[in-house]
Structure 1
């Protein structure tokens, strides 16, 4: 499992870079998702949102109780039926909450869950 950076480093990253880079990343990813050819890159960018926001490192799922990721076929079907629209709503709600001081912790939590809402990718 990758070692997480210190809280201070992650907070500083969020204040200097993460707050503005994450919406740019999400919009670029959604532009790519609109094009059929760009979907793989768009999904990969969405999976990077927690790292772009707060430098959060992915978990090592094999070492945890949950085992591994869901199968690719299940994740693809989920994305086509639910993930593409649910994650767009989820990301916009998180962005709205991020502009309020009270909603900021919830927004950070929501952005951290965006890969799962999009394609059942456990980050």
Structure 2
């Protein structure tokens, strides 16, 4: 990453990311909780690090993404019992930490793990 992109990301965070991230987090959670709009909610959940700091979204091929994942049934049961409420709590704590200078590194780490907290989705990153 060069200095220019770091500067752009820092400016984005200061001007947009810090206030837009909690909005996106809660919209994504609402969409996910409706179940009907779950796919859109998951897409927004995966974009939270981008909204926070313009981090490039993750992209992997389907076979690569499927490796090491829990079965869809396990992930669905986890989401229904735990993921829907834990992800809301996790994301809002991370959003609060993101507006503090001291908490920003932890918030960034938490946002990157939000897909796993929501649905046990595993990723390399």
Short-chain TM bin: 0.7 to 0.9
Residue 80 of structure 1 pairs with residue 77 of structure 2: no
Residue correspondences, number = 117
Hey, what's the Cα distance between the residues in 2 that align with 1:119 and 1:38? 15
Superposed CA offset, 1:1-42 (max 9, x none)? xx8982222111111111111111111112222323122211
Trace 1:1-123 onto structure 2 (pairs within 5 A): 6-61=5-60, 67-69=64-66, 70=69, 73=72, 74-121=74-121, 122=123
Identify if the C-alpha distance between structure 1 residues 100 and 40 changes in structure 2 by more than 3 Å, giving closer, same or farther.
same
Give structure 2 stretches of 5+ with no counterpart.
Answer: none
Q: Does the 8 Å contact 2:21/2:95 carry over to 1?
A: no
Aligned-pair CA distance for 1:61: 4.8
Tell me the TM-score normalized by structure 2.
Answer: 0.75
Tell me the TM-score normalized by structure 1.
Answer: 0.76
